[in-house]
Amino acid sequence: MLTTETPTAALQALGTELKSLGYAFTTVTPATHERVNRRPENAVATNLRDVLGWSRPFEPGLLPPRVEALLSASGALAEEGELRRSTVRFSSYDGELFVHSAFPTTAEDAVFFGPDTYRMADAVIACLAQRPRPVKRAVDIGTGTGAGAITVAKRIPDAEVLAVDINTAALRLATVNAALAGTPNVQPRLSNLLDDVSGRFDLIISNPPFMIDPAGRRYRDGGGDGGHDLSLRIIEAARTRLAPGGSLVLFSGVGIVDGEDRLRASIASLLTGTDLQWNYREMDPDVYDEELDGDAYAHAERIAVVVLTATRS
């Protein structure tokens, strides 16, 4: 059992303490977060949710003493002149708390959690409810906070669930979140896609970066002209690593240009003629509208988030 003798253990203890305090927070999009925090009355935190949800600076003495002590012991407390700020935040989903990077997520190794996390996990739950075959082995590619892996592990406690990522900061937080959720069958692993783990899987899930990000931030930029490269690489990996009857659930996004969904066209070229039966649908037809003002999406008429489900015969 972890103790508070290490920063990671202190972070887990902080999550446990927040649960005991009844803390809850629903994370919004970065654009909404920025708008709400811009309001003059929100310049400085006045309560626990302001600090650990809205990522607002706070005056010493605002937080319960144990919360502030655990923040400090976890290495997540930053000084800003006379104020302080948490470098992590906690969000709620599925009755659990998930620790992730504070807003704004500008660092190269930032660990993101937001509305897409909720959508992805909901899609995974729906897939599990419809699967006729049991899941003995699953993997969450680009796990981030581990939310997808934990969602699976809670519902199939006997399954081996790998949570893989190339970001060591993400693996640390996924370890904490799995412990908070009581899912010991989640195994965080360092791996580039599936290159560093072996075997086949009954379930492969992923919510990879899918935006065109001019800054090239790893947690956000999907690669290529349309931000699709990573999603397509995951599909290619799944084609060879799904067990018979195994399923891939991929949550991604696409800029629609002149009514054309280029991601769907690329997926069709990859999967047509294979032994994978697949379904592709828009989960939300209009998201991240603020991105349409930038050069990266200057030719897009909208940005949609989509779910691909592919099952091996």
pLDDT tens for each residue of 36-77: 999 999 999 999 999 999 999 999 999 999 999 999 999 999
**Looking at residue 2, what is its pLDDT?**
44
Instruction: Name the superfamily (CATH) of residues 115-312.
Output: Vaccinia Virus protein VP39 (3.40.50.150)
Question: Degrees (nearest 5) of the Cα angle 127, 259, 205?
Answer: 20
Give the tens place of pLDDT for each residue, 121-174.
Answer: 999 999 999 888 899 999 999 999 999 999 999 999 999 999 999 999 999 999
**Looking at residue 98, what is its pLDDT?**
98
Average pLDDT over residues 182-189: 98
CA distance 183 to 44: 36
The pTM is what? 0.95
Q: Supply the angle between the helices 147-155 and 168-181 in degrees, to the nearest 10.
A: 30
In contact, 15 and 2? CB cutoff 8 Å? no
**Looking at residue 143, what is its pLDDT?**
97
Domain boundaries, the chain: 7-101, 115-312
- Does residue 291 register a pLDDT over 80? yes
**Looking at residue 1, what is its pLDDT?**
39
| Alpha carbon distance, N-terminus to C-terminus of the chain | 42
Q: How many C-beta atoms lie closer than 10 Å to residue 202's C-beta?
A: 22
Instruction: Tell which residue, 73, 179, 91, has the closest CA to residue 101.
Output: 91
**Looking at residue 4, what is its pLDDT?**
65
- Does residue 34 register a pLDDT over 70? yes
